[in-house]
Structure 1
Amino acid sequence: MEKTVNGTVAQQIAEAIAIQIAEGTLMPGQKLVETDLSKEFNISRSPIREALFILESQGVVEKIPRRGVFVKEISFKEISDLYDVVYTITELAINRGIMICTREQIDELKRLIDEMQATIDKREVKKCHLVVEELHLRLIQLSNNNVLIDVYQRLNMRWTTFRYLTLSHPISLSRSAAEYSQIVKGIENKDFTEIPGILQIKKKRGMSILESIVRD
């Protein structure tokens, strides 16, 4: 039980650190000190250490022997490769799940889109990001394929940093709910035809935003 609780707390801390990286509060190359993070999150060093391990395993930070843990420098090529994989997995998951998903799953997707729109209307980017994270996971889960789901979850923390950056952009924020609505409409109608195109639009816009940030 203790492991489960600690794991949950560590995951939340890992995501909070990833968002700080996305916001620019933590910069590439910056050292992450356990004692400082422990004070910031008002928690013992054990879950902090676990959170840093999660981030390291997902390529967000790197541990350098005898020096410590640092925010990882990342190239646009790495971002491009990550986006290729994430959106390929998403398209595959929806294609597999579109004929087998349940009414309950579709209703849950619609509920999340409504919640997402509410956060957009209030300009609550952090809350919107959390909703989008859950929404995207639900899309992957439509596949009922544990390997696909596992691969996506392993990539998710690494993607969190970049998804938050793109979602913070006014154009992305205003269009995302409508695009997800179109995707869910296609799923509900069991019509996959337009879904790959919508995913490609989302992917290209995200990469365009990130390219301007990384190369500035």
Structure 2
Amino acid sequence: MNPIANDTLSQKIADHITTQIVEGKISPGERLLEKELTEIYGTSRAPIREALYILENQGIVERVPRKGVFARKYSYSEIEEFYDVVYELTRYAVCKGIDSTDTDDKVKELDHLLNKVELSISKEDFRISFDYIEEIHEKIFEISNNRVLLDLYDKLNKQWTTFRYITLSHPESLMKSIKEYRNIYLIIVNKDKSKIEDVLLDKKTRALSVLKKLS
């Protein structure tokens, strides 16, 4: 059975390829051949080409003239720059959430997600835990009540998911990340902006230390 049904759009093919990259089934620097992809997804070349253009625009793959399309391989300096931007946006999202007067329901949803991910870790269901972490970080940006900020997060998240999956692949790292998110939740609840810089710096430093070893 094909992993993607015949009547789906190029976006769904692009999403599936992204998942393959995130989970390490397609390695950084690996070439993506249109012919092979048409066989995998049981479709013509047109939606495959469109899917690859979508991924190229998202920074997931890169097109090399006269060589083809490859899963993008980032240098450590590129990853570091990316994390600088993402964590600055996260800091801003948390601060906006603290200042907002209409976040109670979203903060409760964040707490609920944290409870669910903590339970999934206790059951050693790490794949589900990763999915919850994706929801947790998106919820932090939703709490900002800033549509432009949330749109920026959506655009960056495809690339960030790959890095996040790598850094959280070890259970110990996953548990530390949940503790950090719980601290962010408490900062929002207590409206204490003074602690956000230190919490996010520790989180960024831990993630980059893992990625540096693998770069």
The TM-score by the shorter chain falls in which range?
A: 0.7 to 0.9
Partner of 1:92: 92
Structure 1 consecutive aligned stretches of length 4 or more whose deviation exceeds 4 Å:
41-48
Structure 2 residue 30 is matched with structure 1 residue 30: yes
- Name 2:12's counterpart in structure 1: 9
1:64 matched to 2:64: yes
Deviates more, 1:35-44 or 1:148-157: 35-44
**Matches of 2:28 and 2:9 in 1, distance apart?**
27
> Given that residues 179 and 198 in structure 1 are in contact (C-alpha distance below 8 angstroms), is that contact kept between their aligned partners in structure 2?
yes
**Residues 18, 161 of structure 1: 8 Å contact kept:** yes
1:39-54 alignment runs, 5 A limit? 39-41=39-41, 48-54=48-54
Q: How far apart are the structure 2 equivalents of 1:34 and 1:89?
A: 36
User: Who is 2:4 aligned against?
Assistant: none
Instruction: Between 35-44 and 138-147, report the one with greater CA deviation.
Output: 35-44
Aligned counterparts of 2:38 and 2:128: Cα–Cα separation in 1? 24
Shift in alpha-carbon separation, 1:127–1:40, aligned structure 2, 3 A: farther
2:33–2:69 Cα contact (<8 Å) kept: yes
Shift of the alpha carbon at 1:11? 5.4
Give the gaps of 5 or more residues in structure 2: 1-7
Is the 8 Å Cα contact of residues 166 and 211 (structure 2) preserved in structure 1? yes
Cα offset, 1:60, TM superposition = 2.1
Give the structure 1 partner of residue 209 of structure 2: 208
Q: In the alignment, which residue of structure 1 is the partner of 2:197?
A: 196
* Contact 1:109/1:184 (<8 A) preserved: yes
Helix, strand or coil for the counterpart of 2:63?
Answer: strand
Larger Rg: 2
27 and 10 in structure 1: CA distance in 2 versus 1, 3 angstrom threshold: closer
How many percent identity over aligned positions? 40
* SS of residue in 2 equivalent to 1:93: helix
RMSD (Å) for aligned C-alpha atoms: 2.2
1:121–1:35 CA distance, 2 compared to 1 (3 A): farther
Q: CA deviation at 1:156?
A: 0.8
Write the deviation string for residues 117-161 of structure 1: whole angstroms up to 9, x where unpaired: 233223333322221112111111222222222222111111111
Task: Select between 175-184 and 79-88 the one with higher mean Cα deviation.
Answer: 175-184
CA distance in 2, matches of 1:170, 1:128: 10
- Conserved 8 A contact 2:61-2:70: yes
Matches within 5 A, 1:67-146: 67-100=67-100, 101-146=102-147
Task: Decide whether aligned partners of structure 1 residues 38 and 181 sit closer, same or farther in structure 2, where only a CA change above 3 A counts.
Answer: farther
| SS at structure 2 position matched to 1:141 | helix
Gap regions ≥5 residues in structure 1: none
Distance 1:139 1:79, change over 3 A: same
Alpha carbons of structure 1 residues 90 and 14: separation in structure 2 relative to 1, 3 Å: farther
Aligned residues: 207
The TM-score normalised by the length of structure 2 is: 0.85
* Mean Cα deviation higher: 188-197 or 71-80: 188-197
State the distance in 2 between where 1:34 and 1:124 align.
35
Letter in 2 for 1:193: S
